[in-house]
Amino acid sequence: MSIWQKLFGRKSGTESPEPLDPRFRWIKDTIWGKRWDEIPFEDCISRLLLILRDDPKCKPALEWAAMFAHGNIKRLGFEVIRNPLLDPIFAQCDECGDCWIPDPTAKAVAMNIVLNPIGVGCDKCGRVLCRRCYEQLTVTCSRCRRDMESVIHANGRKRPARRYYGN
């Protein structure tokens, strides 16, 4: 699957990032025709940060940022990773504060069965635990007594993280 299909070829047209939004033209031109591993992720995220600076809730910009940063955490500079404008794309463990970016493609999959997920969350109260913590504690939510499942939606970074899980 090409990056273009990955970003724009979703079935539900309404949720797709706006390909015609002129703010995204630079990114569109930059990634067009490139393989995933040829994309200058940090440059693209820096561009998105300029958009987010003016419009911090811009949903397509956040979706793109998550798409570019997921799987690339280790390759990105800390000034980028720590930028508060990116807080919404992170999942954060309520116990230890470690962060990761939920797989942006997982939202498109109806069944959310992941073995040994990077983190789990409670559907009811929103409690989130990273792998290290749920292995020590349990995947049962301590508040609601129900099993937590792989985190699909970022719960947002609320405090500085000591560690980032960078798949």
Q: Which residues bind Zn ion (CB under 5 A)?
A: 93, 95-96, 98, 122, 124-125, 127, 130, 133, 141, 143-144
In the complex, what is the shortest distance from the CB of residue 100 to Zn ion, in angstroms, rounded to a whole number? Answer: 10
DSSP secondary structure string for all residues of 8-75: H--S-GGGS--TT-GGGHHHHHHHTT--GGGS-HHHHHHHHHHHHHH-TT-HHHHHHHHHHHTTTGGG
In the complex, what is the shortest distance from the CB of residue 124 to Zn ion, in angstroms, rounded to a whole number? Answer: 5
Q: Give the position of tokens 């069944």.
A: 111
Our CB check for Zn ion shows the closer of 31 and 93 to be 93
In the complex, what is the shortest distance from the CB of residue 142 to Zn ion, in angstroms, rounded to a whole number? Answer: 8
Our CB check for Zn ion shows the closer of 60 and 119 to be 119
Our CB check for Zn ion shows the closer of 85 and 129 to be 129
Our CB check for Zn ion shows the closer of 3 and 141 to be 141
